[in-house]
Amino acid sequence: MNTIELRPPYLIFLGNETCLTYAKTGAGLVEWRRELCSGQLNLTPDGIDLGLPQMSVEQAAADGVGSLVIGTASVGGGISPEWLDTLERAALLGLDIVAGLHGSLASVPRLQQAAATSGARLVNVRVPPPELPVGSGRKRTGRRVLMVGTDCAVGKKYTALALARDMRRRGLNVDFRASGQTGIMIAGGGLPMDAVVSDFLSGAAELLSPDNSADHWDVIEGQGGIFHPGFGAVSLGLLLGSQPDAFVVCHEAGRNHLIGWEGFALPTIEQVIERTVELGSLTNPAISCVGVSINTSRLPPGDRSGYLEELSERLGLPCVDPLQGGTDPLVGRLLQTPQTVVTDGEVALI
C-alpha cells in the first residue's frame, strides 16, 4: 500500500467549484481532520463554503501553513489551467502542493519550476504502487466489510470511517482501508483503486486488505457503484479482490439519478444487495449484507427517523445515518456474521 506524509496545517483549495459533490476531498478533510485545516481558498465569490476562514496563499505562508491541498475532483480528474497562477504562487512561497488528481502536478512545467525554486514538494496521492499483481482469488485470513454504493459520492468513505471508529470504541481489532485519494489523505495510507490498470484491480484490492489475525476486521472504503456505467469496473474489481464477508449499502436519500449521468436512474437498494451478493460470491460464497447507511442531509430533520425506520422495516436490515447517530446497529449485525476460516488451505464457516 501507499503511505503518505503531508505537511500540516492545510489550506484547502477549492478553485471555481460550486458543487459540493465535486469538492468531496476538501469536505472529507474538514469533516475528519478539521484540526489540520487552517483555511480555504476559492477563486469565485459564489464557491463552496466548507466553514473555514478564507485565506490567500500569501496569508497561508505567513501563518505557517505547510500544504495547499486541492480539494476538488471533477470527472476525469484533470488540472484546470485556471488554477495555475494560484498554485504557482503557493509553490514559490514554499507551500507543498497536494493533489488527488489523475493528472500529475510534476507534468506542469510552471509548477515543477516553482517547486524546484522554493524547495516545495509536489505530492500526487492518486498514484498506485508499481508491479501490482493480478488477483489470485486466494482466501485470506481475517475478516472484511466493504462499503458499496447506489452511486458515487453517497457516503461510502464517511460510513467506513465512522464504522471503523465505532468498532474501535468497542475494543475491536480493526483498520480502515482507504481505496481513494481522500481516504488516503485522511488515513495516511491506502491504495487509489481508480488509478490502477484494470488487469490488476482485484490484485490491488487483495494487497489493500492482506492476511490478518482471525479477530481482525478490515473496514474497506468503497468506490463508485456496480451499476455505474462509468465506474462500475473499479467497483467490481474492488469487490472481487476484497472478498468481503459483509457489506454495507450506502445511499443518499432523495437522489434518483446518477450524478453526472442524468439518463441513468439510480438502482434500488434491493438491486444493489442482490447484485453484490451475486458477484461477490465468486470469491467469498459467504458474503452478506449487514445493513444500509443513508446520507439524510437532504431530508428535513424531522423526517430522518421515520425514513430510516420505514427503510429498515422494508429491508429487514439496520439502517443508519452514520453522522447523525453512529453505526452501532451495523456493528452489532457485523458481530453476528459467520466467520470464514482458512486451515491448511481449506475454507470453512464457523
Position 77 scores a pLDDT of 63
Contacts of 283 (CB under 8 A, 6+ apart): 137, 139, 202, 240, 241, 243
Taking a C-beta distance cutoff of 8 angstroms, is the pair 4, 122 a contact?
no
CB-based burial of residue 3 (10 Å sphere; 0-12 exposed, 13-18 middle, 19+ buried)?
Answer: exposed
Report the alpha-carbon angle 142-146-152, nearest 5: 160
pLDDT at position 181 is 94
CB 185 within 8 A of CB 4: yes
Q: What is the number of other CB atoms lying within 10 angstroms of the CB of residue 179? A: 28
CA angle at residue 25 from 65 to 200, to 5 degrees?
Answer: 120
| CATH for the 2-124 domain, from 3.30.930.10, 3.40.50.720, 3.40.50.620, 3.40.228.10 | 3.40.50.720
**The three cell numbers locating residue 207:** 494487497
Of 69-73, 83-87, 145-149, 249-253, the least confident = 69-73
In this structure, the number of other CB atoms found within 10 A of the CB of residue 332 comes to: 13
Cα-based distances in Å from 89 to 36, 58, 110: 22, 8, 10
> How confident is the model at residue 348, as a pLDDT?
54
Domain with CATH 3.40.50.720 in the chain: 2-124
Quickly tell me which residue has 487552517 as its cell: 38
Which DSSP state fits 276? H
Contacts of 216 (CB under 8 A, 6+ apart): 142, 143, 173, 174, 175
- pLDDT for res 340: 64
The whole-number pLDDT of residue 57 equals 97
Q: Evaluate if residue 350 carries a pLDDT over 80.
A: no
Summary mean pLDDT of the chain? 94
Q: What is the pLDDT of residue 19?
A: 85
Enumerate the CATH 3.40.50.300 domain ranges in the chain, comma separated.
143-349
Burial of 80: CB neighbours in 10 Å, binned 0-12, 13-18, 19+: middle
In angstroms, the CA 242 to CA 194 distance is: 15
Per-residue model confidence as pLDDT tens digits over 308-348: 999 999 999 999 999 999 999 999 999 998 776 555 555 55
Task: Report the C-alpha gap between 350 and 133 in whole angstroms.
Answer: 30
Q: 133, 234, 223, 236: which is closest to 181 by C-alpha?
A: 223
The yes-or-no verdict on residue 10 having pLDDT over 90 is yes
**Regarding the domain delimited by 143-349, which CATH topology (the fold level of the hierarchy) does it fall under?**
Rossmann fold (3.40.50)
- Which of 214, 231, 212, 215 lies closest to 223, judged by CA? 231
pLDDT at residue 337, rounded to an integer:
87
Report the pLDDT value the prediction gives residue 260, as an integer from 0 to 100.
87
Degrees, nearest 5: CA angle 199-193-38: 160
CB-based burial label for 307 (10 Å; 0-12, 13-18, 19+): middle
**Scanning the structure block, which residue is given the C-alpha cell 481532520?**
33
Digit-coded pLDDT (tens) for 96-119: 999 998 889 999 999 999 999 999
Q: Give the closest residue to 13 by CA, choosing from 50, 46, 64.
A: 50
Identify which of 218, 224, 272 has the alpha carbon closest to the alpha carbon of residue 249.
Answer: 272
Write phi, then psi, for 227 (nearest 5 degrees). Answer: -95, 5
Predicted local confidence at residue 74, as pLDDT: 66
Is residue 150 pLDDT above 60, yes or no?
Answer: yes
| Cis status, amide bond into 128, omega within 30 of 0 | no
Give the tens place of pLDDT for each residue, 151-180: 999 999 999 999 999 999 999 999 999 999
Nearest to 79 by CA among 55, 93, 99: 99
Evaluate if residue 292 carries a pLDDT over 80. Answer: yes
